[in-house]
Amino acid sequence: RRERQVKDASRAKRRRNEETDDEQRERQVKNAFHQHQHHHRQRSSSLYVAALRDEFPAESYYGTMDSPCMTLLTGTNEIIYGLWNTTAGGSSSLSIPGNSIGTYNPTQTPQHVFDQNNITKYTSYGICNQSAIYSSRCGANTGLYLTLQRGGSLLTGIRFYTANGLPERDPMTITVEGSNQPSSALLLGSSWTLMYNGSSGLNSDPGRYRLGVTETISNNVVYYKSYRLLITSIRNISNAAHYSEVELLGY
């Protein structure tokens, strides 16, 4: 009987030791996991998701892991109206397909701006035309407006993709306005509120089909249903303004 008691005590001690070893291993695994998570959060919080554009060329989010992300406000089914001879605060002049003054290239239409395909582009001539007129004012005061399919949204950032070739056509400065007026009033300048007047984010040429710097729109606190974007200058002398994609970012 005593021998059996000794064996039982030995087995019980061995089980306790095994349980202790298992608990230690589990604790080590948990500690390693938490250390990895902490390192990952620290690293992620210092990186913009936008920096991953080589892997995600049409990314929809921008921000850090530790703060709310801006999202892409446009879908691929937006209805876009091309504009020319239009300035911030002024009434809109609609542009039409063509190759002359006041037109945009028939195969490079406003719809391409929000198709989430940076190989297509929008080319607008403004006061110039396809072949005869070259000036630094060509393509200025052109642009577009749209009413978001998603409804009222807070715009907090904007960024451009360059088009192919002819970097002199790149937009350099822009204005952005918002409106909550009905569609019937959107051609009126009084319907729009200016929220941004500045760089397009392409001051430094990123190359062709490439994403520029995100410009922050920090003074906008209104959720607008419609937005108007106007190009106010281009990079150099040319006959048009062109860009492949615009990302309106916000909430």
Reference 134, options 241, 240, 242, 235; nearest CA is 240
Helices assigned H by DSSP within the chain:
2-45
- Model pLDDT for residues 16-75, shown as the tens digit of each residue: 555 455 555 555 544 544 454 444 343 333 333 333 333 333 334 444 434 468 899 999
Q: How far apart are CA 138 and CA 240, in angstroms?
A: 5
pLDDT of the residue at 51: 37
Phi-psi region of 86 (alpha: psi -120 to 50; beta: other; left: phi over 0): beta
Residue 117 phi/psi, 5-degree rounding, is -135, 105
Query: What is the pLDDT, as a whole number, of residue 132?
Result: 77
- pLDDT value for 29: 44
> Would the pTM of this model clear 0.85, i.e. be above it?
no
Positions of the chain with pLDDT under 50: 19, 29-30, 32-34, 36-67
Classify 58 as helix, strand or coil: coil
pLDDT of res. 107: 98
pLDDT score at 133:
84
